[in-house]
Structure 1
Amino acid sequence: MTDQDALPTVTATFPLIREILIREGIEIVHAHQATSVMANESVVYASALGLPSVYTDHSLFQFDDLAGVILNRVLQTTLSTLNAAICVSYACRDNLILRAHLDPSRVNVIPNAVDASKFTPDPSKRSKDRIKVVVVSRLVYRKGVDLLVGIIPKVAKQLPQVDFIVGGDGNKMLDLIEMVEREQLQDRVEFLGAVPHVQVASVLQRGHVFLNCSLTESFCIAILEAASCGLLVVSTNVGGVPEVLPSPDMAILCDSNVSALVKGVKAAVERQEGDGDDAVDPIQAHERIETMYSWHRVAKQTVQVYDRVASEPPQTFSERLACFQSLGGIAGFVAGLLLMIVEVWIRIVILWRPTSTIDVVPDLMPFEKAYTKDKNN
């Protein structure tokens, strides 16, 4: 399909997933990620079993390359019976609606969040003599590593007081290492390699400026984590990034080219070096992120989506067939044929493994409530 993922079979995994859904008493199926084979298949299985389905999209995909064309057609098919979708930004929402031909009224925007308690400022870890620009990212093409290769030498030449800390790994790591050796910047660029997520905060706390060079981004939680640690963010102005940190007090957004990002880094360094009002106050920045982005809010809004889809009646076979055929043309015919094959396969699986033979996990909530009541008494 794309990204080394196979096309969904919509049959092979059904017996196992059906057994899990029944055994665990699942009432809503919530899938994530467009390139996940299991996510695409689970949405189709949910509608076939009379369960509401919700899908969360995290990425932006193009319309003009082969991988995007194939993936978008798969999404149009598998999400045709979807009850609700969640996107992490409005840019992501617009992209998904166009790609999957979804009803806009069923697509919700619920931004990601950050556990601010794990990303706190620690000015004592910052260098007093040097300005540290931090990059924590997968070192791949999509993350703009080619831009970073051009940015570091120019910034190092123009700003002798600036060093770089690069955390992450990927197939573009070699390009960065070759650039550092060519420009003789070994004492100015520190490579950390792959950084476990539990150690990201300690890396960010060493920096003054966070640099994000992504070429495409639906949200970018990394800049939230950096801002929560009190860094001034310099980022490419792409996708949903402008929605994450719209305030110029916390972020400098630039065009996706080397010269613009170099100017952005220079402006950020000047602000962070000064003692005036332009410098980011780490504590205030942390408090703003903690207020703006909380997982409690995400959970509350997600439950509202769950409540809405749970109240909708299950789709009949004719309704689902109409949804699949709405793709039109040959695609609609193939999708309708696929649905009929799935229906036949479901009947076979039910005969082979009747619901009555599947052990259902008991609901422990009544026991927990009784235990809590007795304990309180």
Structure 2
Amino acid sequence: MPYNICMVSDFFYPNVGGVESHLYQLSQRLSQRGHKVIIITHAYGNRTGVRYLTNGLKVYYVPTMVIYSSATFPTIYGFFPIFRNIVIRESIDIVHGHQAFSSLCHEAILHGKTMGLKACFTDHSLFGFADASSILTNKLLKFTLSDIDHVICVSHTSKENTVLRAALSPRHVSVIPNAVVASQFLPDPTAADPNYITVVVISRLVYRKGMDLLVAIIPRICAMHPKVKFIIGGDGPKRIDLEQMREKHLLHDRVELIGSVKHHDVRNVLIQGQIFLNTSLTEAFCIAIVEAACAGLLVVSTKVGGVPEVLPRHMINYAKPEEDDLVIAVSKAIHMIRYEVPKPLTFNEELKDKYSWKNVAERTEKVYDLISYSQTSPLIERLRRYYGCGFYAGKIFCMVMALDYLFWIFLEYVFPREAIEQAQPFPYKKYQSFDKSERYQTTNKVKPSLIDD
């Protein structure tokens, strides 16, 4: 049964990251399986309005205020009129929100349930329980997931974390991992510098990604192994620490900072190395290590979150998120590259079926089938669920939901849905005669065409 699906998140292209890649690839595969998929995100610079990406994937770039790291300012009700117009215009059946950091995601699920739509949520991150930021985020997640049809997590560790944070029943949470297009990360052993063993790091340069550990271990590894160099891709507030480390230890010829890397250039960076290093302090899945293994690199990673679930043991060396243990793990990987014959092509062959977007789309489709048969909760049941979120918070949540319901009634009266023009379907057949190589090239580069609706 085909569905009309609305993916919502603050994080999408042209921003680069795991959530952005997940949204794009999943939407493409669901479209190929006969579903209608649109994406709602916030405007990025002058990219606002309606755009079409490869294969007619429709993206609404909504003008909202961004406050930090591509996350928008929570308006609660300010997004509702635009969201309602889009949902009615596109005849949406299911609202699918992504990422707990996304304000648009939380608001879309609230408004979607008020409008009687089915809603599900995919969690891509792990959170703690003790610091103020985690406490507030977890309470917000509890509010959103109190009235959700189903939740998807990208690893079993992520599922345990989400179930505890939002006080959910494990029966209402499924595990569907990320995936990778293995054909876009084919190994090329000839691309690496034969005079050096190159360690590649591609990550956001932020504290959560373990950049302080990276700053600490690079000088030690360079001192221990004169024929080792680093290529570091990515940008963020910790870049200045890496630059200062390079200046202090005079490592300009052995530590290359290449800045932000576009997704279609990731493979070209990866194949320049033999080892991929991930120093994250927390990870729900870490798609970067899968891409690196597909490109034929031996992976060294901190053993945190869902990372141990991702790769077969012979592709990865684990380390505790500690300086000394990381130095030992990287040194062991250097020894393996230097004295043992790696088989990078076999990594790609092993992973291309294990992590397939086609499989992810099929499993997500089963979730949609499951929630499509669930009954819509009456208003009193929704209030009961929100009331159970806490002695004080429950009352606040009930007021927020009740006001949202009244606002919806007001919008239905002032802007009747009969007056909203229905969107025309994208002419897929017109583009089915495209040359396959041209289509692959476009998908590989992820270059959106700037077609206004």
- What is the DSSP-based 3-state SS (H/G/I as helix, E as strand, rest coil) of the residue aligned with 1:72? helix
**Aligned equivalent of 2:328:** 263
Residue of 325, 332, 357 corresponding to 1:295: 357
Shift of 1:214: 0.6
Write the mapping of 1:110-129 to structure 2, written as runs, cut at 5 A: 110-129=176-195
Q: 1:249·1:280 contact (CA, 8 Å) conserved in 2?
A: no
Q: Mean Cα displacement is larger for which, 110-119 or 92-101? A: 92-101
Shift of 1:168: 1.2
Aligned mates of 1:179, 1:337 — CA distance in 2: 52
In terms of fraction of residues, the more strand-rich structure is: 2
Q: Does 1:284 align with 2:346?
A: yes
Amino acid at match of 2:232: V
Q: 1:151·1:261 contact (CA, 8 Å) conserved in 2?
A: yes
Query: Judging changes above 3 Å, is the alpha-carbon distance between structure 1 residues 250 and 77 closer, same or farther for their aligned structure 2 residues?
Result: same
Query: Judging changes above 3 Å, is the alpha-carbon distance between structure 1 residues 6 and 125 closer, same or farther for their aligned structure 2 residues?
Result: closer
**Aligned equivalent of 1:254:** 319
- What is the DSSP-based 3-state SS (H/G/I as helix, E as strand, rest coil) of the residue aligned with 1:192? strand
Shift of 1:70: 1.0
Shift of 1:346: 1.2
Amino acid at match of 1:142: R
Residue of 75, 85, 89 corresponding to 1:23: 89
Deviations 1:159-198 (A, max 9, x none): 1111111111111111111111211111111121111111
**Aligned equivalent of 2:263:** 197
**Aligned equivalent of 2:6:** none
Shift of 1:199: 0.9
Aligned mates of 1:364, 1:232 — CA distance in 2: 43
**Aligned equivalent of 1:56:** 122
Aligned mates of 1:368, 1:229 — CA distance in 2: 34
Aligned mates of 2:89, 2:265 — CA distance in 1: 38
Shift of 1:364: 7.0
Shift of 1:6: 6.2
Shift of 1:221: 0.7
Aligned mates of 1:368, 1:317 — CA distance in 2: 43
Shift of 1:91: 1.1
Shift of 1:361: 2.5
**Aligned equivalent of 2:397:** 335
- What is the DSSP-based 3-state SS (H/G/I as helix, E as strand, rest coil) of the residue aligned with 2:108? helix
Aligned mates of 1:188, 1:227 — CA distance in 2: 23
Shift of 1:363: 5.5
Deviations 1:103-141 (A, max 9, x none): 211111100001111111001112222111111111111
Amino acid at match of 1:87: C
Q: 2:219·2:249 contact (CA, 8 Å) conserved in 1?
A: yes
Write the mapping of 1:296-315 to structure 2, written as runs, cut at 5 A: 296-315=358-377
Gaps of 5+ in 1: 373-377
**Aligned equivalent of 1:36:** 102
**Aligned equivalent of 1:132:** 198
- What is the DSSP-based 3-state SS (H/G/I as helix, E as strand, rest coil) of the residue aligned with 2:314? coil
**Aligned equivalent of 1:144:** 210
Aligned mates of 1:361, 1:256 — CA distance in 2: 50
- What is the DSSP-based 3-state SS (H/G/I as helix, E as strand, rest coil) of the residue aligned with 2:86? helix
Across the aligned residues of Structure 1 and Structure 2, the Cα RMSD in angstroms comes to 2.0
Shift of 1:249: 0.8
Q: 1:211·1:235 contact (CA, 8 Å) conserved in 2?
A: yes
**Aligned equivalent of 2:219:** 153
Residue of 316, 324, 339 corresponding to 1:274: 339
Residue of 88, 97, 101 corresponding to 2:163: 97
Amino acid at match of 2:364: T
Q: Does 1:320 align with 2:382?
A: yes
Shift of 1:357: 1.1
Deviations 1:43-76 (A, max 9, x none): 1111111111010110111111111111111111
Shift of 1:326: 1.7
**Aligned equivalent of 1:354:** 416
- What is the DSSP-based 3-state SS (H/G/I as helix, E as strand, rest coil) of the residue aligned with 1:53? strand
- What is the DSSP-based 3-state SS (H/G/I as helix, E as strand, rest coil) of the residue aligned with 1:249? helix
Q: 1:44·1:79 contact (CA, 8 Å) conserved in 2?
A: no
Deviations 1:142-163 (A, max 9, x none): 1111111111111111111111
Q: 2:72·2:104 contact (CA, 8 Å) conserved in 1?
A: no
Query: Judging changes above 3 Å, is the alpha-carbon distance between structure 1 residues 102 and 362 closer, same or farther for their aligned structure 2 residues?
Result: same
Amino acid at match of 1:43: I
**Aligned equivalent of 1:162:** 228
Q: 1:23·1:360 contact (CA, 8 Å) conserved in 2?
A: yes
TM-score by length of 1: 0.93
Deviations 1:259-297 (A, max 9, x none): 10110011001111124xxx4311001111112101011
Query: Judging changes above 3 Å, is the alpha-carbon distance between structure 1 residues 104 and 161 closer, same or farther for their aligned structure 2 residues?
Result: same
Shift of 1:36: 1.0
Gaps of 5+ in 2: 1-66, 434-453
Q: 1:3·1:35 contact (CA, 8 Å) conserved in 2?
A: no
**Aligned equivalent of 1:181:** 247
Query: How much identity, in percent, do the aligned residues show?
Result: 42
- What is the DSSP-based 3-state SS (H/G/I as helix, E as strand, rest coil) of the residue aligned with 2:392? helix
Amino acid at match of 2:334: V
Write the mapping of 1:6-21 to structure 2, written as runs, cut at 5 A: 8-21=74-87
Shift of 1:40: 0.3
Q: 2:99·2:105 contact (CA, 8 Å) conserved in 1?
A: yes
**Aligned equivalent of 1:225:** 291
Structure of greater Rg:
1
Aligned mates of 1:40, 1:196 — CA distance in 2: 28
**Aligned equivalent of 1:375:** none
Aligned mates of 2:197, 2:73 — CA distance in 1: 48
Query: Judging changes above 3 Å, is the alpha-carbon distance between structure 1 residues 258 and 364 closer, same or farther for their aligned structure 2 residues?
Result: closer
Aligned mates of 2:342, 2:379 — CA distance in 1: 58
Aligned mates of 1:6, 1:136 — CA distance in 2: 25
Following TM superposition, where does structure 1 have runs of at least 4 consecutive aligned residues deviating by more than 6 angstroms?
Answer: none
Query: Judging changes above 3 Å, is the alpha-carbon distance between structure 1 residues 363 and 207 closer, same or farther for their aligned structure 2 residues?
Result: closer
Amino acid at match of 1:339: M
